[in-house]
Amino acid sequence: MKKQIQFIFLSFLIAGCANQPIDKEISTTKLDNSTVAKIKHKHKRRSLPDGVISLDIIEANNTVHLLLGKHQQGKKSLWYQQSTDAGMSWSDAVKVIDQDHLEANFNRGSDAQLAVQGNNIVAIWASRKEGAGRHNAGPMSAARSSDNGKTWQVSSIPADIDIAHNFFDMDGNADVISAVWLDRRVDSATTKKAKKGLRHAQSKDGGVTWTKNKTLDDHTCACCWNTAKYSDNGELFVLYRDQEPSDMSIGVLDKQQQWTKLNHVGDFKWDFKGCPHIGGGIAFQSKSQLIHTMVGTGHPEHLGVFYHRSADNGKTWSVPVQLGNESALHSDLASDNNRVIAVWDMMTADGLAIFSAESKDKGLSWSKSKKISLVGYRATHPKIVASGSEFLVVWTESADGKLQTLKTQKL
């Protein structure tokens, strides 16, 4: 049974988690230095579903902000909404860029992203550039609103080099917005070959201008999403997939813009040369001085998603706690002062579904997993935010693979 789950899990990784169109033959023979059965699949190019193909949700200033990327008969668009009652009701959707078709390269796992600084809201996403490599990946695009999302304008991008950028995340507070992303560039005269690395820029004027780019790590995984989040004391924590090994690493950028790479969150020693397309989540309980994380790994001995917590600002982490079974893939978590709730997608007899678990003692113990998506839908890539004492989970789901819709649920 375990070998079957490993086979299924690796198949998801090779297929880009069944969300990115793939048109090539891939084979691999090793996972973490252990030879496994050779997997060789011919994946036909799949067209994008209509409906919601990109999703980001954040909470700021007691407001939940939602950014949806949509696809309809070959045309893409971005839409913004907000809720002041934890998702019970939503403002009218506003089109971020008023174009008939947006040349964008977003999909689940490589979603367009939002950040908020006061009344300033910034969105960034990957552009599509025909003929630019096998994925037609272009530079990032950006838009900003200075009136709390009512109107939007094209704006300057965080990146200071005109190359392909992807796997973004952003976060903001009252003073600044930070963006992190991956791109491939040469950072010094001693480096002869461009490497995929983790970059950072910040804006103090709501996305009008950005600082010179800073490389946080010059050798990272090329295709996993990053998570950046400000703590209450103004430090920016960044969770990202490393290389050699391919475990999730975490680092912190202090208020003086000094970067410290802390360690691996879950020292699984996973070495994978492919494209996992799995990231993680960060949540803070400031009163308890705790950092909570969820990370995914494909190590044959540690398949699935795992919870960790740190009581020393990320210097050390607790023993991994597995939530769900070995088929769990994409995860997130959120916290208030009393509860921590984790969400993830996982294989069931009916296909991929969304599950949740809750801790009422700051991550020391967890409830049993609970399925929260409905039978008959393929549900993927959940995200969760805390708003006051409420928790809101969002994901995308499809019954037929042709139409993908947004699903929201309070926990």
Domains of the chain: which residue ranges?
Answer: 48-220
Residue 20 has pLDDT above 80, yes or no: no
> Residue 28 has what pLDDT?
32
Q: Find out whether 26 and 273 touch, Cβ atoms under 8 Å.
A: no
Mean of the per-residue pLDDT values for the chain?
A: 89
Choose between 26 and 77: higher pLDDT: 77
Query: Of 336, 330, 283, 281, whose CA–CA distance to 62 is shortest?
Result: 336
Specify the pLDDT at position 13.
56
Tokens of 286: 């400031």
pLDDT in tens, 236-295: 999 999 999 999 999 999 999 999 999 999 999 999 888 889 999 999 998 889 999 999
Structure confidence at residue 34 (pLDDT): 39
For 158-167, the pLDDT digits (tens) are 999 999 999 9
Cα separation, 117 vs 96, in Å, equals 17
Give the residue with greater pLDDT, 138 vs 186.
138
Supply the pTM of this predicted model: 0.91
**Position 36 confidence tier, pLDDT thresholds 50, 70, 90:** very low
High-pLDDT (> 90) share of the chain, %: 80
- In eight-state DSSP terms, residue 107 is B
Q: What is the DSSP code string of 17-82?
A: TTTS---SEEEEEEETTEEEEEEEEEPPP-PPPEEEEEEEEEEETTEEEEEEEEEETTEEEEEEEE
Q: What are phi and psi of 339, to 5 degrees?
A: -125, 155
Report the SS3 class of residue 7.
helix
Identify the band that residue 135 occupies on the pLDDT scale cut at 50, 70 and 90. confident
User: Domain 48-220, CATH 3.40.50.2300 — does that match?
Assistant: no
